[in-house]
Amino acid sequence: MSAPCRLRTSPITRTCCCYGRAHKPGHGTRIMDNPLTLKQRLLILASFVLAMMLAIIPLPDSVRLLRPDWVSLVLVYWCMAVPERIGVGSGWIVGLFLDALYGSLLGEQALAKALLAFLALHFTLRLRMFPRSQQALAVGTLIAISDLMVIMIKSLVHGTPPLWRDTAPMIANVIVWPVLFTILREVRRRAKIS
């Protein structure tokens, strides 16, 4: 019996890395060979829809400045939880919906959410290892990078300098992350999404 493979199946070529040698049962199965059920897909979609609804709820001016970026938080969570299913393309699509909801320049939020998804995917393994407090700071930093991109785009397009109130939600993201993470993790476990 030959040694088992150390690598996974290539998602591009759909071939096993063992080059015809024997391997352990179950090795070489691709993630997409085990697709999500309709209920699981709808649950992920519902979390994004709920986040978008929370993002557009009218609030008083004093509280509106402290509104967390719900959509970004949910996007980062799903990128961390199921990185092979939610990625840059999902971030781009979510961003396009946000552009339509906010009535902003088409592609502004899409570019920012795609960048956020890329960063979340790139740092997924590191983020998973952090305790919740450090994870909240790291996620807050990733979302701050994404928000700063939106602020720069707005300042270039509209010719107005960025204001301090544009950075206020960044603190709220750090505060809300541990609670949102716990809720979404419980929902994901009950729905058996992996």
| DSSP-assigned states of every residue in 44-73 | HHHHHHHHHHHHHS---HHHHTT---HHHH
Please classify residue 89 by burial: count the beta carbons closer than 10 Å to its beta carbon, then call 0-12 exposed, 13-18 middle and 19+ buried. Answer: exposed
Q: What's the confidence (pLDDT) of residue 12?
A: 42
Q: What's the confidence (pLDDT) of residue 9?
A: 47
Q: What's the confidence (pLDDT) of residue 10?
A: 42
* Structural contact between residues 81 and 188, judged by C-beta atoms closer than 8 angstroms: yes
Q: What's the confidence (pLDDT) of residue 27?
A: 53
Which domains, from first to last, does the chain contain?
1-34 (no CATH), 35-191 (1.10.1760.20)
CA distance 61 to 50: 22
- pLDDT tens for 97-129 read 999 999 989 999 999 999 999 999 999 999 999
The amino acid sitting at 42 is: L
Q: What's the confidence (pLDDT) of residue 144?
A: 94
Q: What's the confidence (pLDDT) of residue 36?
A: 86
With a cut of 70, which residues of the chain have pLDDT below it? 1-33, 164
| Residue carrying structure tokens 């986040």 | 51
Q: What's the confidence (pLDDT) of residue 25?
A: 53
